[in-house]
Amino acid sequence: MPKKFSEAEKNRIQQKLLESGRSLVSRYGFKKTSVDELTKGAGIAAGTFYGFYQSKEELFFELVEVEENRIRTTLLEHAANRPVDKESFKLFLLESFQLMSNNPIIQQILLTESFEAILRKLPPERLERNYNEDQDILLPFIQKWQTAGVLTKKSSPELIVSMIRSLFLLSLHKREIGEAVYDDTLKLLITTMANGLFARD
Amino acid sequence: MPKKFSEAEKNRIQQKLLESGRSLVSRYGFKKTSVDELTKGAGIAAGTFYGFYQSKEELFFELVEVEENRIRTTLLEHAANRPVDKESFKLFLLESFQLMSNNPIIQQILLTESFEAILRKLPPERLERNYNEDQDILLPFIQKWQTAGVLTKKSSPELIVSMIRSLFLLSLHKREIGEAVYDDTLKLLITTMANGLFARD
């Protein structure tokens, strides 16, 4: 970093960059937003950017993660207020997908032609961190449904989380799945998966 | 087309282009193979290419489809020799995924960084044709398992095919799913899906 910032300043700048990114992406999309505009929007020098992110892709991925965190919190709150039963598990999965599909920031970034490029430009440890966050937060939930006898104990909870996580990648392929059948296909996939995970022993 | 070809000549040229494509892609990969090399390999003039395909992407997609056809034939032959029961359905799904994942041409093309670009350069009717081929061939099979009472009749066979089809798109995301857990995650997804489709009424 060209200049020494205190921890408090760093936090403030990072928040400003994220806000600037959120507003620019919502208005102009991902491709048309440059590092120059991001730093201008945040009121910092262009060179300062790289003290915080390796690339604009990394900042955009962080925007997705902020939304993901918000969605996780909502999901867990809702689930905490429901009984630990089959119906709640199905609702949990369907709601996850709905919240992801209807979030404007996530959709703006996911549906860009270059989401693959975003992912490829991320350092591997960034993807791993995302993976671990999903595991940390979802694992206790899956285990609770397993302990209550709602979900089968034959599959490891880690793999169940990994499976749920992988389904979200399908939202990148609306076109290949077929626009006309996309919603119904995903709904069937989610309810079939829930159905297949219920304990029958 | 700059020159008039008879139907027989057209077929012969198309076969040569596909062979040339298969051999070049296996050796050098998708990105490094140009239209020039494709036509040189097939022994035709460069301009002739566009009488057959709109882009090299379209030819590569056709290579994938040739392999898909081969795989479908193998799958259906195997299934025809097995009893119409739960075990066979699971085997059918697992084998589909294995054959797709182990096919060198499909993997060479799917795993290229630009598979998204291939898909995006295809005319929409090309994707639709692929969709319809999957439906035409798989539909009778799914219906057979439904009629035999193995699979639930609550879901439409068309949507079940669409769901199975969409799972193959996950093979594009080995990195995001996580190399270390990819195989186990997909295996769990497939068996869970089979499990969720079994009739219980």
* B104 & B175 share domain: yes
Looking at the DSSP bridge assignments, the partners of residue A198 are A151
DSSP labels, A68-109: HHHHHHHHHHHHHTS-SSHHHHHHHHHHHHHHHHH-HHHHHH
Residue B83 has a pLDDT of 95
Q: How far apart are CA A39 and CA A47, in angstroms?
A: 9
* Position A125 confidence tier, pLDDT thresholds 50, 70, 90: confident
User: Do B78 and B169 lie in a common domain?
Assistant: yes
Domain that holds residue A83: 56-197
Q: Assess whether A60 and A48 both reside in one domain.
A: no
Q: Are residues A12 and A107 in the same domain?
A: no
Q: Which of A131, A184, A193 sits opposite B192 (nearest CB)?
A: A193
Higher-scoring residue by pLDDT: A29, B59: B59
ipTM, two decimals:
0.83
Asked whether residue B129 falls in the same domain as residue B38, the answer is no
Number of domains in chain B: 2
Chain A residues at the B interface, defined by Cβ less than 8 Å, are 113, 116, 119-120, 127-128, 131, 155, 158-160, 162-163, 165-166, 169-170, 173, 175-178, 181, 184-186, 188-189, 191-197
What is the C-alpha to C-alpha distance for residues B75 and B93, in angstroms, rounded to an integer? 9
Nearest to A104 by CA among A36, A29, A154, A155: A29
Residues in chain A: 201
Shared-domain flag, residues A43 and A140: no
CATH number of the domain encompassing residue B167 = 1.10.357
Predicted confidence at residue A173, as pLDDT, reads 82
B109 in Cβ contact with B63 (< 8 Å): yes
pLDDT score for B114: 63
Q: For each successive 10 residues of chain B (201 residues), what is the average pLDDT?
A: 78 94 87 91 91 90 90 91 94 91 80 71 84 88 95 96 90 84 94 94 61
Beta bridge partners of B198: B151
Sign of CA dihedral A40, A43, A46, A52: negative
Q: Are A189 and B159 in contact (CB under 8 A)?
A: no
Task: Closest CB to A181: pick one of B127, B162, B195.
Answer: B162
Q: Do B148 and B112 belong together in one domain?
A: yes
Local confidence band at A114 (pLDDT 50, 70, 90 cut-offs): low
> Using the beta-carbon criterion (under 8 Å), do B160 and A196 form an inter-chain contact?
no
Q: Using the beta-carbon criterion (under 8 Å), do A169 and B177 form an inter-chain contact? A: yes
B12 with B100, same domain: the answer is no
